[in-house]
Chain A
Amino acid sequence: MEFIKTLFNFPQVHEWLGQAGYPAVYLGALAGAVLALLIAAVPILMSVCLSPSRPSAAKKAAYECGVPPVGTAREKQMVRFYVVAILFVLFDVETAFLFPWAVAYDMLGLFGLIEMGLFLAILIFGYVYAWKKEALDWVY
């Protein structure tokens, strides 16, 4: 309870953020996040209080266009979805490396261009490899 009380004590939170090394502007983002969660949670709680609850077996069955559901829903999925996830991890992490480079590009100059050109060449090599191995194709 004491913890919840201090959580709403904004000057205190402000101080914690400062001690943890976050600039004060993060307070606004934090307050926004807390309020967004509240705004999402309040209507759900309200609907719990206001709505009737009269479940029946038919109501609680999985909806499969009116036909009685067959088997379980937790079935095998196509392997393509996992390939996409792996590709995403590869390429998105590499884009994350590009962000600081893009911001500091003016200071790095030609050096930055060549270095990042090498990095991008490796990235593009991997991309071409993935393309040739048909990892980017959605085959059935």
Chain B
Amino acid sequence: MLDLLIVLGKIAILVGCLLGGAAFLTWVERKQSAAMQDRIGPNRADIFGFTLWGLFHPIADGIKMLVKEDLRPRFADPYIFPIAPLLAFFPAMVAFAVIPWGGTLKFGAEPDLLLIPLQLADLNVGILFIFAVASISVYGVILGGWSSANKWSLLGGMRGASQMLSYEVSMGLSAMGIFMIYETMSLAKIAQAQGDLFFGFIPAWGIVLQPAAFVLFMVAAIAETKRVPFDLPESESELIAGYFLEYSGMKFGLFFMGEFIEIIVAGSIITTLFLGSYQIPYLGPEGLQIPGLELWAMGPNFIAILQCMAFLVKTAAMVFLLQSIRWTLPRFRYDQLMKLGWKVLFPLAIANLLVTAILCLLLT
């Protein structure tokens, strides 16, 4: 019974963080674009006269989506049309189940010691689970585009599907060097291994060991989340909104939220694989141990909370970077996008894999 309560508690925390984070991100995105384009941004929605820098806008948006008329175009498929937003939204939420977001909480003494790892499910094929689940969102895009019976939507859906397929190959290949080095695919073990030190002072983070893979993975992740400069499936200036053009009300809201949750998940996967996950450099199980200094002892639960916050800060920084890229770069042309995916990223990822394999063999 306690197990079940713990699992439900973790799910509640994750769901709260993801939905709250996604709603907050819609506000960040608008305010950030406003700041970068020298505008004011959203500032009107108020509760009893308090506007709080436009922070009530996500709430107003949510209410609007709930009470807005939900239209289905005349020739749209009656069954697939409502299912597509679910398929786009749900994989992003599920992928987070295997991401570790902190160390282990310890309660009680030895005989009935209660250990709570801050991760929903530590699958030994964790990263494969993420890739598998993330592939489902392709169905959301292409079914949404096809079932709308709209030329723009169909084109956006086709573009989205072939873009996501193309970059998935390089995404898997570029992450493979990480599995080779840490000898596991379990995200919890990868996170643990990144707490080690090289030569006693360099943290064994993925970005230190696999800098090329970091760049490749990051590019592939931006393409997978369909963000600028890879936002061709929804390019608003040519396809209006692409695959979700005909959606309105809460169904559009699900596509929208799904996209922001995908950004958070992408940021947290990059953090987990390359930026040391929840690890803080020199913070071991006993406390802070900076080389050459005395141990600064800390309790295990305090450390777990610190690690949780470190994960949050790293993920937020990655998400902010992805958002900033959005307002900095122009959009690719479609042939350029395909060329980058197949002719640049793919050979580079294979080269990185081979170099890693040879170096691993020589150094061990």
Contact = CB atoms under 8 A, between A and B. Distances in A.
Given A27-B7, A62-B75, A88-B169, A136 B343 contact: yes
Given A40-B254, A53-B69, A103 B158 contact: no
A32 B120 contact: yes
Contacts of A139: 335
Contacts of B65: 43, 47
A44 B41 CA distance: 29
Contact of A63 (B69, B180, B245, B250): B245
Contacts of A37: 86, 90
B97 interface: yes
A36 B93 contact: yes
A1 interface: no
A10 B148 CA distance: 38
A37 B258 CA distance: 12
Interface string A55-81: 101011111110001001111011011
B73 interface: yes
A62 B353 contact: no
Contacts of A39: 15, 19, 93
A7 interface: no
B15 A62 contact: no
Contact of B70 (A28, A53, A63): A53
Contacts of A47: 65-68, 70, 249-251
Chain B residues touching A, range:
35 or more
Main DSSP-derived SS at the A contact region: helix
B78 to A, nearest CB: 12
B176 A77 contact: no
Contacts of B162: 80-81, 84-85
Interface string B156-193: 00100110011011001100110110011100000000
Given A85-B165, A98-B353, A50 B71 contact: no
Nearest to A124: B350
B86 A61 contact: no
Nearest to B360: A105
Interface string B1-27: 000100110110011000100000000
A138 interface: yes
Interface string B95-115: 011100000000000000000
Interface residues of A, number: 75
A99 interface: yes
B151 A75 contact: yes
A48 interface: yes
Contacts of B153: 73
B364 interface: yes
B71 A131 contact: no
A41 B86 contact: yes
Interface string A124-140: 10010001000011111
Nearest to B179: A102
A19 interface: no
Contacts of B358: 113
B338 interface: yes
Given A25-B121, A99-B185, 7 more contacts: A40-B86, A47-B250, A47-B251, A50-B67, A60-B73, A74-B146, A127-B347
29 contacts: A26-B121, A28-B97, A29-B123, A31-B120, A32-B14, A35-B11, A36-B93, A36-B94, A37-B86, A44-B254, A47-B68, A50-B66, A50-B67, A51-B70, A51-B250, A52-B69, A59-B71, A62-B148, A63-B152, A73-B75, A73-B153, A84-B338, A88-B166, A92-B165, A99-B176, A105-B180, A117-B354, A120-B353, A127-B346
Interface of A: 10-11, 23, 25-29, 31-33, 35-37, 39-41, 43-44, 46-48, 50-55, 57, 59-65, 69, 72-75, 77-78, 80-81, 84-85, 87-88, 91-92, 95-96, 98-99, 102-106, 109-110, 113, 116-117, 120, 123-124, 127, 131, 136-140
